[in-house]
């Protein structure tokens, strides 16, 4: 009996020990960290083609040598390849109006200047009694019309003397008297010839200078029309490289009259463009080279010095025949300040007054000539292509005082 009880106890101990081992192994399995992921297999990308390699993976394909390629039978014409050619319609070349008598045709454009100068003086001189107050009004009228103080005093003194000598003051007599004195004031003895004729081996060179906004580039284009109308061949130099549209504008003016335009890169050296333009003019045998310089403020010393450089570079080919200063006639006395500064940098040979068809006073012609000692050679009387006219003192005064 004792043996049986002992066997049962041993069996229970064995069973309990086996159960504990099973439970412990399960707990250890649960506490183990997860197995690390398997290392992925890296596939090496295909090598990029180098210079000279084929972009596509080469394949084993049959290749033919040059000798194995069949040639087309003799006499077979090659297939025609039709290309679409875009036809650019050329700008029609215009025939400018003749310059002779142009100012006479445009005299009506000076109507606003008439009211402030010519007709105003006639009205004052026609008064029954010319006392000191009237003569002061005459002086004020002249000064207001931008004639200038010194020329005004000279004119008033001569008018007072001649009116006393004349005695009678009929409208016809007064108009003739005023016309004569104004023509004297404008000074018809000044040489207003544009020196644009070519020399033996080089063309005439004309520099066009001025501040921004005076119509300088437009004046250069219109001047090209004036010269073409007079039978001269012209080359244009677009030396205004600081303004992007200036070269395009000048080229359009040139194409309309068949004149070649030499231009350079934007913001390039203006002196280099001017030099190339004269060089091109020599090669083509042109009569005149017109150079449009960059507009510059007269107060900027650096830009004014650069203008002197342009002139010196151009003179390596030959002399500069004309330096034309373009002034806006509506600026009055400020235009005289500009003229004075430009004259210190380059030798001005002539004045071009623009916008005389607007609110400008006709007296600016007298004032600028007295200030610089150089003549007004051209005047602008409108926005039309042929509204630039050679200055004629008699016709100008006739337009001021009216019929």
Residues in the chain: 403
The reply to whether 362 sits in an annotated binding site is no
Contact between 397 and 403 (Cβ < 8 Å): no
The reply to whether 357 sits in an annotated binding site is yes
Whole-angstrom distance, CA of residue 209 vs CA of residue 344: 13
The reply to whether 276 sits in an annotated binding site is no
The reply to whether 213 sits in an annotated binding site is yes
Burial string for 108-126 (b: 16+ CB within 10 Å, else e) reads ebbeebbebbbebbbebbe
Residue 79: DSSP 8-state:
P
The reply to whether 321 sits in an annotated binding site is no
> Quick one: which of 185, 90, 153, 154 has its CA closest to 401?
185
Whose tokens are 């080229």? That residue is 251
The reply to whether 219 sits in an annotated binding site is no
Question: What are residue 207's DSSP bridge partners?
Answer: 291, 323
The reply to whether 356 sits in an annotated binding site is yes
* Rounded (5°) CA angle 206-380-125: 125
The reply to whether 292 sits in an annotated binding site is yes
The reply to whether 214 sits in an annotated binding site is yes
- What would you measure as the largest C-alpha separation in the chain, in angstroms? 183
The reply to whether 264 sits in an annotated binding site is no
Whole-angstrom distance, CA of residue 29 vs CA of residue 292: 96
The reply to whether 215 sits in an annotated binding site is yes
The reply to whether 295 sits in an annotated binding site is yes
The reply to whether 316 sits in an annotated binding site is no
Contact between 163 and 125 (Cβ < 8 Å): yes
The reply to whether 210 sits in an annotated binding site is yes
Quick one: CA dihedral 302, 305, 307, 309, positive or negative? Answer: negative
The reply to whether 363 sits in an annotated binding site is no
Contact between 152 and 143 (Cβ < 8 Å): yes
Contact between 139 and 385 (Cβ < 8 Å): no
Binding residues: 210-217, 292-296, 354-357
Binding residues for GTP: 210-217, 292-296, 354-357
């Amino acid at each position: 009996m004792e043996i049986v009880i002992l066997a049962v106890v041993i069996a229970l101990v064995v069973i309990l020990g086996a159960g504990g081992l099973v439970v412990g192994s399960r707990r250890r399995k649960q506490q183990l960290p997860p197995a690390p992921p398997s290392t992925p297999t890296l596939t090496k990308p295909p090598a990029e083609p180098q210079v000279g390699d084929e972009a596509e993976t080469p394949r084993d394909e049959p290749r033919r040598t040059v000798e194995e390629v069949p040639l087309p039978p003799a006499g077979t014409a090659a297939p025609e390849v039709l290309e679409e050619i875009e036809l650019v319609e050329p700008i029609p070349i215009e025939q400018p109006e003749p310059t002779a008598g142009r100012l006479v045709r445009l005299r009506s454009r000076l109507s606003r200047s008439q009211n402030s100068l010519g007709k105003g003086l006639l009205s004052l001189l026609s008064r029954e009694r010319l006392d000191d107050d009237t003569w002061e009004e005459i002086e004020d009228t002249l000064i207001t019309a931008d004639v200038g103080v010194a020329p005004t005093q000279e004119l008033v003194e001569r008018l007072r003397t001649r009116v006393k000598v004349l005695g009678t003051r009929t409208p016809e007599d007064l108009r003739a008297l005023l016309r004569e004195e104004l023509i004297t004031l404008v000074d018809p003895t000044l040489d207003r010839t544009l020196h644009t004729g070519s020399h033996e081996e080089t063309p005439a060179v004309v520099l066009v200078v001025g501040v921004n906004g005076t119509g300088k580039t437009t004046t250069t284009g219109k001047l090209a029309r004036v010269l073409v109308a007079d039978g001269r061949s012209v080359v244009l130099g677009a030396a205004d490289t600081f303004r992007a549209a200036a070269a395009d504008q000048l080229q359009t003016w040139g194409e309309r009259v068949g004149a070649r335009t030499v231009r350079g890169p934007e913001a390039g050296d203006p002196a280099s463009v001017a030099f190339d333009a004269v060089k091109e003019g020599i090669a083509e045998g042109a009569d005149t080279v017109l150079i449009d310089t960059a507009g510059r403020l007269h107060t900027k010393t650096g830009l004014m010095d650069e203008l002197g450089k342009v002139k010196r570079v151009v003179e390596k080919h030959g002399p500069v025949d004309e330096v034309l200063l373009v002034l806006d006639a509506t600026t009055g006395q400020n235009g005289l300040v500009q003229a004075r500064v430009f004259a210190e940098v380059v030798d001005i040979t002539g004045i071009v007054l623009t916008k005389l068809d607007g609110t400008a006073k006709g007296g600016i012609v007298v004032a600028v000539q007295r200030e610089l000692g150089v003549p007004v050679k051209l005047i602008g009387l409108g926005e039309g292509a042929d509204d630039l006219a050679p200055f004629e003192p008699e016709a100008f005064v006739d337009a001021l005082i009216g019929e």
